[in-house]
Amino acid sequence: MAEEGEHARLWAAPGSAQVELLSARFERFAFDRHSHEQLSVGVIEEGAEGLHLVGGKVVVPAGQLVILNPGQVHTGFAAEESGWRYRMFYFDTAMVDELAAEHLGVRDVWFARTAVPDPDLFAGLRRVHRAQERASDPLTAESLLLGALTTVLRRHASTGRAVTTGPRRDPRRGPDLARQLLHDRWTEPVTVAELSAASGMPRATLIAAFRQAYGLPPHAYLLRLRANRARRLLLTGRRPAEVAAATGFADQAHLTRVCKRYFGVTPGAIRP
Nearest to 270 by CA among 90, 131, 139, 125: 90
Size of the chain in residues: 272
What is the pLDDT averaged over residues 113-141? 94
Query: Half-sphere exposure (CA, 13 Å, Cβ side) for 216?
Result: 20
Query: How much of the chain, in percent, has pLDDT values that exceed 70?
Result: 94
User: So what's the pLDDT on residue 3?
Assistant: 53
Give pLDDT tens digits for 205-214.
999 999 989 9
User: So what's the pLDDT on residue 188?
Assistant: 92
Nearest to 151 by CA among 91, 74, 200: 91
Residue 94 clears pLDDT 70, i.e. is over it: yes
CA 117/CA 120 separation, integer angstroms: 9
Q: Over the Cα atoms of the chain, what is R_g?
A: 19
Higher pLDDT, 59 or 133: 59
What is the pLDDT averaged over residues 174-192? 93
Q: What is the pTM of this model?
A: 0.86
CA 171/CA 52 separation, integer angstroms: 28
Give pLDDT tens digits for 27-66.
999 999 999 999 999 999 999 999 999 889 999 999 999 9
| Domains identified in the chain and CATH numbers | 7-159 (2.60.120.810), 174-271 (1.10.10.60)
Query: Half-sphere exposure (CA, 13 Å, Cβ side) for 18?
Result: 15
pLDDT band at 170 (very low <50, low <70, confident <90, very high): low
Residue 84, classified by CB atoms within 10 Å of its CB into exposed (0-12), middle (13-18) or buried (19+), is buried
User: So what's the pLDDT on residue 161?
Assistant: 62
pLDDT band at 2 (very low <50, low <70, confident <90, very high): very low
